[in-house]
Amino acid sequence: MDSNEYDYIFLGAGCASLSILMRMIYSNKFNQKKILLLEKAPKIKNDRTWCFWEREAGFFEDIVFKKWSNLFFKTGNETIKLDMENYQYKMIRGIDFYNRCFSQIHNQKNIDTVYGQISFKKTEDNLIKIKIDDEEIIPSPNTIIFNSIVATGEQRKDKFYLLQHFKGWIIKTEEDFFNAENATLMDFSVAQTHGTTFVYVLPLSSKKALIEYTIFSEKTLDKDEYDSALKLYLNKLPGLKSYKIEEEEFGVIPMNNEYYPFFNNGMYFIGTAGGQTKPSTGYTFRFIQKQSEKIVEELISRGIPHKGREMQKRFSFYDSTLLHILSKNLLPGKRIFTSLFKKNKASRIFKFLDNETILSEEIKLLNSLPKKVFIKAGVAEFRKIFLVHKEA
């Protein structure tokens, strides 16, 4: 493989790499550029589901599998209909996303896709050496490398590390049971034994729904515990007589306040590897889309992305404060999210969780939370972010 010919190399063919590539293709500005996409194996399974809120039609609107304008929050004792204003909650299935992207990528003569085990390291002369199985690739100094492979490192004492882990079933009932227009964002009626725990209920039709059992904690559970919790939840749904499990999904999303540099060791880090997973919620898809759009705009306008990343320290502070409280069990997550959704419009919460609010909006939201605990945790995190610790 003549690696020197490539203008761009993508390590990993996940959401971030494919989102950038699709925008490059649709811009018609990169037809003369050689691009290499590396991935372990072909994407032929529905290995994940992305759910996100959005106000307008997005770049991948044509493959949105289902959307809801009616969203509910359940405490166990009461059901709150969320005021979403012009937001919709959307679902994209992994397989639809992969098929959509690769149907375009495979038609591009300037894009090569190679499958195999990926590894990489920096050479003594400051170049990146990439291996795909046993084949070595040494890009030229002008090659732009995007890396979406998440590296695991040693945990730091001044950071917080939680996992959002979940097991989901798509179930089908014999009779009409679900209202396909109404979805449950969080149902906290389940036991809070392992940490912040809730269930999503996303109806796909009157007879089919995705039921997802979700936990924020430091460790995952045994497989049987997820299944038992899902069965218990479904058995308690009034009127549900029988169902069949059609699909299963399991996932683990990191929720930590580590610093993820955008450019490091000669590569641009994208997706979760580049800090595009929201630390306090685990939401990733919309952040990846915003980052992808910006990267392609900069490739077109200046030929290379800015190596620095605009740090929104305000939102890092909010995320770290919540992680501080949840990690130290200072308040139950159920109480925090209940306070937030009972006292605020969901549209404002969504805007806040997308890092798009202004300070005055944020103050109103923060005032709806238990003040004593949040102030104490906030002071500790403020010192780390603004006064003591400066990231390299």
Q: How far is CA 255 from the centre of its chain?
A: 10
- 271 with 253: CB under 8 angstroms? no
* Separation between Cα atoms, residue 117 and residue 322, nearest integer Å: 37
Query: To which H or E segment does residue 319 belong?
Result: helix 313-327
| Residues 113 and 35 both lie in one domain | yes
Q: Crossing angle for the helix pair 346-353 and 359-366, nearest 10 degrees?
A: 120
pLDDT of 128 reads: 85
The reported pTM is 0.93
pLDDT of 219 reads: 96
| Residues 192 and 244 both lie in one domain | yes
| Residues 285 and 139 both lie in one domain | yes
pLDDT of 93 reads: 96
pLDDT of 312 reads: 78
- Domain span at residue 120 reads 3-45+91-153+257-302
Examine residue 58 and state whether it is found in any structural domain, yes or no.
no
CATH of the domain at 190: 3.30.9.10
pLDDT of 310 reads: 64
* CA distances to 57, 264, 323 from 158, in Å: 40, 22, 12
Averages of pLDDT over runs of 10 residues in the chain (392 residues) are 78 97 98 97 93 97 98 95 97 97 97 95 79 90 93 86 97 97 98 96 98 97 97 96 95 93 92 94 96 97 86 89 97 97 97 96 96 96 76 44
pLDDT of 392 reads: 41
pLDDT of 375 reads: 96
Closest CA to 132 of 10, 14, 42, 38: 38
Examine residue 101 and state whether it is found in any structural domain, yes or no.
yes
- 203 with 178: CB under 8 angstroms? yes
| Residues 143 and 168 both lie in one domain | no
